[in-house]
Amino acid sequence: MLSPNSDPDRDVWYQANFNYLAAAVARVYYYLDRHIASLQNGELPQSTLPDTEAIAAQMEEPPVIVHLCELLNLSEFEENILLLCVGRAMHPHFPELCALAQKNGDRNYPTFSLALSLFPDVRWQALTPRSPLRYWDLLHLAPGEDVTQARLQIDESILHYILGEPYQDYRLAGIVAAIAPELSANLSPSRLDIALETADLLISPQINPSTSPIVQLCGADIEDRLAIAQETSKLLNFPLYILSTRHLPTAQDDLQHLLTSWHRTFRLTSGILLLECDPLNFTDKERQTALANFLQGIETPLLLSSPTRFYTPHRAFVTFDIPPLTYQEQLHLWESSLGDRLEELNGHLPAIAAQFNLSPATIQTASHVAQQNTNTGTNMGDRLWNFCRIQARPRLDDLAQRIETKATWEDLILPEQQRQILQEMLAHLRQRVKVYEDWGFAEKERRGLGISALFSGQSGTGKTTAAGILARELNLDLYRIDLSAVTSKYIGETEKNLKQVFDAAEGGGAILLFDEADAIFGKRSEVKDSRDRYANMEVSYLLQRIESYQGLAVLTTNLKTAIDRAFLRRIRFIITFPFPDTQHRQLIWECIFPTNMPREGLDFAKLANLSVTGGNIRNIALNAAVLAADANESVMMKHLLQAAKSEYVKLERTMTDKEIKDWV
């Protein structure tokens, strides 16, 4: 059918459609006039039936009322009943005529009883709930009356549609929303392939729409899933509608009304429905039941968008797992979005494309923002990098603790061997693009290219500080994840928690610091029951995600011997942070105090005799500064002695005379 909104001759088509509808209503008027005349004096008027076929023959496309009757399989009798209600809504004299035809001044509205007495080819089936008029809710019956005597009123959405307006079901307003088609010129090849396969599935002539498989789009990024759905609707030239699972009614009757409304929308628009499952709480059993009933009851092609796979035994699913964009796809999207401004990045774009995995829409936004903010005093490459880094924060901030540090290499007191390994880690992170992409290491196998490290050592030996310095050097965010809090006694929950963390971190390539790795990486036990088996599966899942993670994942432990050696083999870097000896403790003391802090008589060689870690040294220094400030004095050895005693009490250790000899 001609679309009145898009055709340049809309006004001509609109008028022709109205003329046909007026003639069709005049046909009903003819039957009313004859019936009233027969009741009053028995003399029939000499009028003739309007020639609606002649009007329709002059139109390039069929009138909407004709199209509607063909789509919904209305008989001529049912069409006349519908037109009777159209006349009541549009014609000023119809109320009076209805009252005269029913010999009752109060019955100035259409009824089935009136229709049975007016029109030829009477079919009683038209009155039943399964008839097209009632099944598709084309008419509404007033409650409280027998079916033949109840007031009939045309559905408002159908009335506007018949008059030539684009179809819109007002009962779906606020529940099902039309999505404007987007130009998808920048859709990556991997996404375009999925859209093409999806389009073929939805229009396959071998598949009955009422039993067609549900096409499930799974992926972490909701924008990716929406872009594929939009491209699919564009390929099919069908409108796209979106329904969120949070709007699914839980009452069965309300859910059935929603399904009927959508089925009618599909019949009249050939629209595609995208069911968005992101807000679905899978612990809400009532909502899950509503979703299962909806999927079982829907009889139109359906796209289901979800971060994880959904399954119901009542329908077949075809699932497409949307992979992350490849480096080359990311690079192409960036180049297309930046256009002529590409040269201003001075060769930094490959590093940005390799570090951040963003959706096409976010890449376009980032390119626009970086080109607009020219008054910040930074070059466009730095602006673009910082903008991309910030994009992942909202998702990760809810799952982990972001750690910001101003520590530098001078603040990290470690033996040369450990510092050298940290520098090697920096080189791996900085040269990934050249080695993996330009030199081709990623072409044969992408698995195992993730960079992982295990930092072992006592608390306070510098593990977190080292991770913070790496993040600062690379201008990346550092997030701390407590593995003891992520792990769950419920089967499958640990993997789900870890998946949320990694999916959220992928976009920004943040450095992930997993504390207390021994909570999950303990030596594998012999599989004696299902719990042992699933515990080993949790470890395998974490290692798998670490190996595929494009950023740096750092695991920390206080007890390296508690970790299975088979797991250590799959970690790229292992650094032991030793307990600092006297020489290193003195270096820590010498750099622990701020330059602005007043001090008097501090002996760093004597302070180094305290057998504590760098973290304890920082606590003692800070507490001593508070004591000195409260006494309005410079920091002296007596303040440090008092603070050290308090720290030893906290550590449940006894301070020896040798450690504090000649302090005061």
Report whether pLDDT(236) > 80. yes
**Sign of the CA dihedral with 610 first, then 611, 613, and 616 last:** negative
Q: Is position 5 within any domain?
A: no
Q: How confident is the model at residue 354 (pLDDT cuts 50, 70, 90)?
A: confident
Q: Is position 14 within any domain?
A: yes
Any idea which residue has 């549609």 for tokens? Answer: 161
pLDDT in tens, 107-129: 999 999 999 999 988 999 999 99
Residue-level length of the chain: 664
The pLDDT of residue 588: 92
Q: How confident is the model at residue 194 (pLDDT cuts 50, 70, 90)?
A: very high
The pLDDT of residue 83: 96
DSSP structure string for 411-433: G----HHHHHHHHHHHHHHHTHI
Question: What's the average model confidence in pLDDT over 172-177?
Answer: 91
The pLDDT of residue 3: 45
Q: Is position 346 within any domain?
A: yes
The pLDDT of residue 604: 93
Question: What's the average model confidence in pLDDT over 544-558?
Answer: 85
Q: Is position 664 within any domain?
A: no
Q: pLDDT averaged over the chain?
A: 85
Residue 252 to residue 421: CA distance in whole angstroms: 62
Give the phi and the psi of residue 517 in degrees, each rounded to 5: -60, -25
The pLDDT of residue 618: 93
Q: How confident is the model at residue 530 (pLDDT cuts 50, 70, 90)?
A: very low
* Domain total in the chain: 5
Report whether pLDDT(185) > 60. no
Q: Is position 223 within any domain?
A: yes
The pLDDT of residue 359: 80
Question: What's the average model confidence in pLDDT over 195-214?
Answer: 76
Report whether pLDDT(488) > 80. no
The pLDDT of residue 197: 92
Same domain, 515 and 617: no
Where among 119, 144, 167 does a domain terminate? 167
Give the phi and the psi of residue 242 in degrees, each rounded to 5: -125, 140
In the chain, the amino acid numbered 129 is P
Same domain, 300 and 446: no
Same domain, 337 and 311: no
Question: What's the average model confidence in pLDDT over 49-76?
Answer: 89
What proportion of the chain, given as a percentage, has pLDDT over 90? 44
The pLDDT of residue 211: 64
Q: Name, in order, each residue with C-beta under 8 angstroms of 75's C-beta and a sequence gap of 6 or more.
A: 121, 123, 126
Same domain, 420 and 569: yes
Question: What's the average model confidence in pLDDT over 428-453?
Answer: 79
Crossing angle between the packed helical segments 189-202 and 222-236, to the nearest 10 degrees: 50
Identify which has the larger pLDDT, 538 or 618: 618
Q: How confident is the model at residue 445 (pLDDT cuts 50, 70, 90)?
A: low
Same domain, 148 and 75: yes
Question: What's the average model confidence in pLDDT over 487-506?
Answer: 76
Same domain, 566 and 609: no
DSSP 523: P
Q: Name, in order, each residue with C-beta under 8 angstroms of 483's C-beta and a sequence gap of 6 or more.
A: 514, 515, 516, 517, 519, 520
DSSP 212: P
Residue 399 to residue 482: CA distance in whole angstroms: 10
Same domain, 514 and 624: no
DSSP 459: T
Question: What's the average model confidence in pLDDT over 45-74?
Answer: 87
Identify which of 454, 458, 416 has the alpha carbon closest to the alpha carbon of residue 613: 458
CB burial of 311-321 (b: ≥16 within 10 Å; e: otherwise) equals: eeeebeeeebe
Indicate the SS3 state at residue 75.
coil
Where among 272, 295, 321 does a domain terminate? 321
Same domain, 178 and 240: yes
The pLDDT of residue 529: 45
Q: Please indicate, yes or no, whether the overall pTM of this predicted structure exceeds 0.85.
A: no
Report whether pLDDT(493) > 90. no
pLDDT in tens, 256-279: 999 999 999 999 998 899 999 876
Q: Tell me the Ramachandran region of residue 92: left when phi exceeds 0, alpha when psi lies from -120 to 50, beta otherwise.
A: alpha
The pLDDT of residue 125: 93
Residue 188 to residue 325: CA distance in whole angstroms: 8
CATH number of the domain within which 460 lies: 3.40.50.300
Q: Tell me the Ramachandran region of residue 378: left when phi exceeds 0, alpha when psi lies from -120 to 50, beta otherwise.
A: beta
pLDDT in tens, 319-349: 999 888 888 888 888 888 888 888 888 788 8
Greatest alpha-carbon span in the chain: 131
Q: Is position 370 within any domain?
A: yes
Any idea which residue has 């008092």 for tokens? Answer: 642
CA distances from 29 to 26, 87, 110 (A): 5, 8, 12
Q: Per mean pLDDT, which range of 110-119, 400-409, 538-547 is the poorest?
A: 538-547
CATH number of the domain within which 599 lies: 1.10.8.60
CB burial of 431-442 (b: ≥16 within 10 Å; e: otherwise) equals: ebbeebbeeeeb
In the chain, the amino acid numbered 149 is Q
Where among 550, 576, 602 does a domain terminate? 576
pLDDT in tens, 507-521: 777 899 988 777 666
Identify which has the larger pLDDT, 216 or 530: 216
- Asked if 468 and 461 count as a contact pair (C-beta separation under 8 A), the reply is no
Same domain, 54 and 90: yes
Within 10 angstroms of residue 579's Cβ, the number of other Cβ atoms is: 14
What SS3 string covers 547-570?
A: HHCCCEEEEEECCHHHECHHHHCC
The pLDDT of residue 82: 96
Q: Which domain holds residue 151?
A: 10-167
Q: Is position 592 within any domain?
A: yes
Identify which has the larger pLDDT, 394 or 651: 651
Report whether pLDDT(1) > 60. no
The pLDDT of residue 393: 80
Identify which has the larger pLDDT, 284 or 478: 478
Report whether pLDDT(280) > 70. no
The pLDDT of residue 363: 85
Identify which has the larger pLDDT, 212 or 365: 365
Q: Is position 299 within any domain?
A: yes
Same domain, 355 and 481: no
Per DSSP, the chain holds a count of helices (H) and strands (E) of: 30, 14
Same domain, 493 and 604: no
Structure-block tokens of residue 554: 């750092």
Any idea which residue has 């709480």 for tokens? Answer: 281
Q: What share of the chain is helix, strand, coil (3-state, %, to 5)?
A: 55, 10, 35
Same domain, 361 and 488: no
Q: Per mean pLDDT, which range of 84-98, 104-118, 518-532 is the poorest?
A: 518-532
